[in-house]
Amino acid sequence: MKTLIRFFCFLICLPFGPAAMADNFTDGAAFFKNKQYQRALFEFQQGTQKDDPLCQYALGLMYAIGNHIEKDDEKAFIWIKKAADQGLPAAQNYLATLYAEGRGTAKDETKAADMVKKAAKQQYPDAQYNLATLYASGKGVEKNPKEAARLMRLAALRGLPEAQYALGIMHASGFGVAKNDEQAVHWYYLAAQKGYPQAQNKLGVQFIYGRGTEKDEIKAANWFSRAAKQGYAPAEYNLARLYETGRGVAENKATALDLYRRAARRGNAQAQAHLKNLPAAESDSVFLKKRNNTAVSN
pLDDT at position 279, please?
Answer: 65
The model's pTM is 0.85
Instruction: Please name the amino acid found at residue 50.
Output: K
266-285: per-residue pLDDT in tens?
999 999 999 998 765 355 54
pLDDT at position 155, please?
Answer: 97
Class for domain 123-192, per CATH?
mainly alpha
pLDDT above 50: residue 129:
yes
Quick one: pLDDT band at residue 298, thresholds 50, 70, 90? confident
Please tell me if the domain spanning 11-104 has the same topology as the one spanning 123-192.
yes
3-state secondary structure of 138: coil
CATH number, domain 11-104: 1.25.40.10
DSSP state letter for 139: S
Q: For 67, left (φ over 0), alpha (ψ -120 to 50), or beta?
A: beta
24-73: per-residue pLDDT in tens?
999 998 898 898 999 999 999 999 999 999 999 999 999 998 878 899 99
149-180: per-residue pLDDT in tens?
999 999 999 999 999 999 999 999 999 999 99
Q: What's the 3-state SS for 218-285?
A: HHHHHHHHHHHCCCCHHHHHHHHHHHHHCCCCCCCHHHHHHHHHHHHHCCCHHHHHHHHCCCHHHCCC
The domain locations on the chain are: 11-104, 123-192
